[in-house]
Amino acid sequence: MRSLREAFGQFATGVAVITTVTADGERAGVTVNSLTSVSLDPALLLWCLSNRAPSAPLFLRAGRFAVNVLAADQGHLSRRFATPAADKFAGVELLGTPLPILAGTLASFVCRTERVHDGGDHHILVGAVERYQRAGGEPLVFHSGRYREFWPELSAGEGRVASHA
């Protein structure tokens, strides 16, 4: 199992924090690198949530979620939302919206849960994008179990990835 995980980890990804809030105000957030666009028309995206995640019942019950695409300097948010805590949102700057949107992200998407599929040990959530915003900037990159740096100033064919100490 570890070997398969390491092989999957060879695919470099961006990092996002998915957030939600239930009708009774209970908030949840998780860090993911399993995010992809599905369709432009209609606007759909998907992400995967572990069946064992303590927040899984909240995400499945809420029916809505926000995707927060993290910037290169937001590794602290990735770690925060990947670690169990009583209140992952404590001290985190949020934008004024019913769904928790993290400040300073590269992009955010507010979605209605369109479908949930069984994906083995994960749920696959497909979201219909209701609105989005894009700020741009450098992404937080994850490869082989570590955060990496992205150097966009290099010309095509000269790209490289470096690890953070």
Gap between the Cα atoms of 112 and 96, Å rounded? 18
Instruction: Give pLDDT tens digits for 78-105.
Output: 999 999 998 999 999 999 778 999 999 9
Q: What is the pLDDT of residues 28-65, one digit of tens each?
A: 999 998 899 999 999 999 999 999 999 999 999 999 99
CA angle 150, 44, 146 (to 5 degrees): 25
pTM (predicted TM-score): 0.85
Q: Is the dihedral of CA 148, 149, 150, 151 positive or negative?
A: negative
Q: How far apart are the first and last CA of the chain?
A: 26
